[in-house]
């Protein structure tokens, strides 16, 4: 029996508990996927809750805004944070200064995956569809198919990358035409993609690995073993960072050697991650926390309470933003 199998057995009880908790989330996801559409959420005015109270350990840095039901992904735009609402199938824009929802676009059932450039907002939704939204007019200007499932989206090396969890693949798409340029097989359970012109990294949830793709050739050139059930991958602060959901850790990969150089304990159920030179921010889905890793220290140095079922995290407008699926809120932590 190898070490990875022993680790799986040791944390079997934790996996069972996580499965039960996840089952509580299945209801709203299935309803959205099967065509049920709750009424569109009203968003004027929006309740803004802050923690600016005496003795607040966060120093009044935390505030939250109600958004659409089942907020999934968040990404930074021009003066706004874009948020997908999976249950209602909407895309919303939250003004970073006023914390008000200022734009709303109907996408389709299961809207979740999100990528933003100055020219476009990309959203994946049920049935393997992708919608392109004009950020100036907040109108859908194109829809096209990309695989069987609406996976995670990234814009890297001039292309749109869409993961297909079920087919263990990544689609490279021409953002102008929506044409699939390449289908790249990776490990089992392709999660999301992150990278730059030199490398595209994809976490493989069931394989416990990360695939490195050369965008010049569209070939997998390295496979790195990380922790159990890697949930998300991010690039920044000179490294590749991978959240391992079942291990409660973050793996740090050196892109120069394609080797794990550190494994950092963070807490239960790490999910979304974003990396900057100032810190690596990690969402803990089970602990309902956002934590900051100091890249120099290789350890967690800050913790913030966020809403129930937090998942996605992004940096923009001088703050860190976290979606909380069950509480239907977007939480802002000022930097």
Identify the pLDDT of residue 2.
54
Report, as an integer, the average pLDDT of 331-335.
96
Residues in the chain: 335
pLDDT mean across residues, the chain:
86
**How many Cα atoms within 13 Å fall on the side-chain side of residue 119?**
5
Supply the DSSP string of 65-130, one letter for each residue.
EE-SSSEEEEEE-SSEEEEEETTTTEEEEEETTT--EEEEEE--TT---EEE-SS-EEEEETTTEE
Least confident of 46-60, 212-226, 319-333: 46-60
Confidence bin at 38 (pLDDT 50/70/90): very low
pLDDT for residue 292 is more than 50: yes
Confidence bin at 19 (pLDDT 50/70/90): very low
Residue 219: give its domain's CATH number. Answer: 2.130.10.10
When divided into structural domains, the chain yields a total of 1
Which pTM value belongs to this model? 0.85
Give the whole-number percent of the chain exceeding pLDDT 90.
78
Whole domain around residue 305: which residue ranges? Answer: 3-334
Strands (E), 167-208: 169-173, 180-185, 190-195, 200-204
Confidence bin at 60 (pLDDT 50/70/90): confident
Among residues 325, 267, 330, 331, the alpha carbon closest in space to that of 27 is found at 325
Report, as an integer, the average pLDDT of 228-235.
98
Give the whole-number percent of the chain exceeding pLDDT 70.
82
Tokens encoding 287:
């602990």
Q: Do residues 123 and 139 make contact, with C-beta atoms less than 8 angstroms apart?
A: no
pLDDT for residue 327 is more than 60: yes
Cα maximum dimension of the chain: 58
Identify the pLDDT of residue 4.
52
Tokens encoding 43:
């968003």
Confidence bin at 234 (pLDDT 50/70/90): very high
Identify the pLDDT of residue 17.
32
């Amino acid at each position: 029996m190898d070490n990875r199998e022993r680790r799986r057995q040791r944390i079997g009880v934790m996996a069972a508990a996580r499965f039960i908790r996840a089952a509580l989330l299945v209801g709203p996801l299935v309803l959205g996927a099967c065509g049920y559409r709750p009424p569109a959420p009203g968003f004027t005015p929006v309740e803004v809750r802050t923690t600016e109270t005496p003795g607040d350990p966060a120093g009044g840095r935390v505030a939250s805004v109600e958004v659409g039901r089942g907020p999934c992904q968040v990404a930074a735009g021009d003066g706004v944070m874009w948020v997908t609402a999976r249950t209602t199938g909407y895309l919303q824009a939250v003004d970073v200064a006023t914390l008000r929802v200022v734009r709303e676009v109907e996408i389709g059932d299961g809207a979740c995956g999100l990528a933003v450039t100055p020219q476009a907002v990309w959203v994946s939704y049920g049935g393997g569809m992708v919608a392109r939204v004009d950020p100036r007019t907040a109108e859908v200007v194109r829809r096209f198919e990309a695989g069987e499932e609406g996976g995670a989206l990234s814009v890297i090396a001039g292309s749109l990358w869409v993961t297909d969890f079920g087919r263990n693949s990544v689609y490279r798409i021409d953002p102008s035409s929506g044409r699939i340029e390449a289908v790249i097989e990776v490990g089992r359970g392709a999660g999301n993609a992150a990278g730059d012109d030199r490398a595209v990294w994809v976490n493989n949830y069931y394989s416990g690995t990360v695939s490195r793709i050369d965008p010049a050739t569209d070939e997998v050139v390295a496979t790195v073993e990380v922790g159990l059930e890697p949930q998300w991958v991010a690039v920044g602060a000179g490294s590749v960072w991978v959240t391992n959901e079942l291990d409660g850790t973050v793996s740090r990969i050196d892109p120069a050697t394609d080797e794990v150089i550190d494994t950092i304990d963070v807490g239960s159920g790490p999910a979304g991650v974003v990396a900057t030179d100032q810190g690596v921010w990690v969402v803990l889905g089970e602990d309902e926390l956002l934590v900051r890793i100091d890249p120099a220290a290789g350890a967690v140095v800050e913790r913030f309470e966020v809403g129930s079922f937090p998942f996605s995290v992004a940096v923009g407008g001088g703050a860190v933003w976290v979606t909380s699926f069950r509480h239907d809120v977007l939480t802002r932590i000022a930097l």
